[in-house]
Amino acid sequence: MNQGTKRWIFRWIHIVFSIPILGYIYDSPADTPNYAWAIRDVFLPALLISGLWMWKGHVVRRLISQRSANKTTRMKRAQELEA
């Protein structure tokens, strides 16, 4: 999957999960306690994670790739020392 497709998926997740939050804001105050848990526990975390991933996902990917590269180099060095 190329980067454009991933960006498109995260963008649509972000847009779709923001729609219930708009309903929460503009709905009548008497109805909001009925689905406040869904906003608080499902939609807002998904919105935050997708937004942060679109904003700083390149940094996370770089850190993960550096960490895995360091791990494989340490494993190779340990194998060389044992041999």
Q: Out of 7-11, 40-44, 69-73, pick the least confident.
A: 69-73
pTM of the model: 0.65
Q: Which two tokens stand for residue 8?
A: 């498109």
Distance separating alpha carbons of residues 76 and 70, to the nearest angstrom: 10
Tell me the pLDDT tens digit for each residue of 11-28: 999 999 899 888 888 888
Checking if the pLDDT of 68 tops 70, the result is yes
Q: How far is CA 71 from CA 23, 76, 83, in A?
A: 46, 9, 19
36 contacts: CB under 8 Å, gap ≥ 6: 24
Range of the domain at 65: 3-82
What domain count does the chain have?
1
The residue among 19, 14, 21, 18 whose CA lies nearest residue 53 is 14
As a whole-number percent, the residues of the chain with pLDDT over 70 amount to 83
